Amino acid sequence: MNLLQALILGIVEGITEFLPVSSTGHLTIVEKLLGLTVDDQGVTAFTAIIQVGAILAVIIYFRSDIARLFLAWIRGLGSRRARDDPDYRLAWYVIVGSIPIGIVGFLAKDLISGGLRNLWVVVAALVLWSIVMWAAERVATQKRDERKVTIVDAIVIGLFQCIALIPGVSRSGATISAGLFRGLNRVAATRVSFFLSIPALVAAGGYEGVTQAGAISASVGWLPTILATIVSLVVAYAAIAWLLRIVAHHPITVFIWYRIGLALLVAVLLLTGVITAT
């Protein structure tokens, strides 16, 4: 991979990681258009590692919230009275909600990095999950804010996050939809989505960095990987602020037409032989 390709992929990752349009789906499409082998171990590891840049953007953007939740959690571990703090409970909910994707991601690792890295899967997921997003907005009551999140909400959102392991679904699209189905308002659902992304994506990127270091060196290179990670951090920071403003005033269905248009474009490229599915 050359530095221009890494720059492009870092920008794509940063823009799409937290928008409900599927960052993995976009990376798979762009990697294919750039002539990369999408099911190569090094390329798959690269895709996971550069997501850490986007997660660092979340940590920086929400640093005061994260510090508040962490301190509340620490206080609650040593004081029964402190356990009445909603922040203590929310911290535990983030931990519990992160467990499902850790288990499913580990057990389905070969499928995620192999069979699911197919552009027809991306096309189908982009369209089908758009229907779920539409349904979530249709039934959403948005009666509860972040301080009224429950353990059931966290588990449901965590389970939906597992579905986002399918390229084209979108992690944020899945988790925000789950929050809306549970009656959370869009901003609360989006913020919980951000918090749940931290353990999941840091673990995925760290695991790939350690276990696939040789594959990265052999097929992608660490300089392009580091460059793309830094670029994704900068771009994702701006994307976070933009998404929060969008969801405060607009339904997530505003992204559906883009998802369907992208799916149709990729399907045409596949059917005409411009690109191949794997």
Q: Using one digit for the tens of pLDDT, what is the confidence trace for 199-254? A: 877 777 777 777 777 778 888 888 999 999 999 999 999 888 888 888 778 888 88
| Residue 81 pLDDT exceeds 90 | no
14 within 8 A of 57, measured Cβ to Cβ: yes
With b for 16 or more beta-carbon neighbours within 10 A and e for fewer, the 185-215 pattern comes to bbbbbbbbbbbbbbbbbbbbbebbbeebeeb
Residue 250 CB burial class (10 angstroms; 0-12, 13-18, ≥19):
exposed
Q: Using one digit for the tens of pLDDT, what is the confidence trace for 12-58? A: 999 888 888 888 888 888 888 888 877 777 888 888 888 888 889 98
| Residue 114 pLDDT exceeds 90 | no
Angle of helix 51-61 versus helix 41-49 axis, rounded to 10? 10
Report the distance separating Cα 248 and Cα 271, nearest Å: 39
94 within 8 A of 195, measured Cβ to Cβ: yes
pLDDT at site 202: 78
**Backbone Cα Rg of the chain:** 18
Residues 6+ apart with CB under 8 A from 78: none
Q: Using one digit for the tens of pLDDT, what is the confidence trace for 147-181? A: 888 999 999 999 999 898 888 888 888 999 999 99
Length of the chain: 278
Question: Contacts by 218-221 with C-beta closer than 8 Å and gap 24+?
Answer: 218/42, 219/1, 219/37, 219/40, 219/41, 219/42, 219/43, 220/1, 220/42, 220/43, 220/45, 220/46, 221/1
Handedness of CA 199, 73, 189, 242 (dihedral sign): negative
Mean pLDDT over 131-137 rounds to 94
Confidence of residue 4 (pLDDT cuts 50, 70, 90): very high
- Predicted TM-score (pTM) of the model is 0.84
pLDDT at site 126: 93
